[in-house]
Amino acid sequence: MKVAVVGATGLVGSVMLKVLAERNFPVSELIPVASAKSAGKQVEFKGKKYTVVTMDDAIAMKPDVALFSAGGSTSLEAAPRFAAAGTTVIDNSSAWRMDPDKKLVVPEVNANVLTANDKIIANPNCSTIQMVVVLKPLHERYKIKRVVVSTYQSVTGTGVKAVDQMMNERKGISGEMAYAYPIDLNVIPQIDVFTANGYTKEEMKMILETKKIMGDDSIRVTATTVRIPVMGGHSESVNIEFESDFDLAEVRAILEKEEGIIVVDDPANLKYPMPMDAHEKDEVFVGRIRRDESQDNALNLWIVADNLRKGAATNAVQIAEYLMANKLI
| pLDDT category of residue 232 using cuts at 50, 70 and 90 | confident
| pLDDT category of residue 118 using cuts at 50, 70 and 90 | very high
- pTM recorded for the entire structure: 0.96
Q: What angle do CA 67, 320, 282 make, to 5 degrees?
A: 90
| Alpha-carbon torsion angle 202, 205, 210, 215, nearest 10 | 180
Please compute, for residue 271, the number of CA atoms within 13 A of its CA located in the half-sphere on the CB side: 9
Per-residue pLDDT tens for 242-275?
A: 999 999 999 999 999 999 999 999 999 999 999 9
Instruction: Please give the share of the chain, as a percent, with pLDDT higher than 70.
Output: 100
Mean of the per-residue pLDDT values of the chain? 97
CA distance 4 to 28: 11
Per-residue pLDDT tens for 120-129?
A: 999 999 999 9
Pairing status of strand 2-6 against strand 65-68: parallel
Q: Are 297 and 245 in contact (CB under 8 A)?
A: yes
Q: What is the pLDDT of residue 37?
A: 87
DSSP, res 90: E
Q: What is the pLDDT of residue 325?
A: 97
DSSP state string for 233-259:
-EEEEEEEEESS---HHHHHHHHHTST
| pLDDT category of residue 36 using cuts at 50, 70 and 90 | confident
Q: What is the pLDDT of residue 258?
A: 97
Instruction: Please give the share of the chain, as a percent, with pLDDT higher than 90.
Output: 97
What integer is the mean pLDDT of 31-41? Answer: 92
- Which active-site residues does the annotation give? 126, 234
What integer is the mean pLDDT of 96-118? Answer: 97
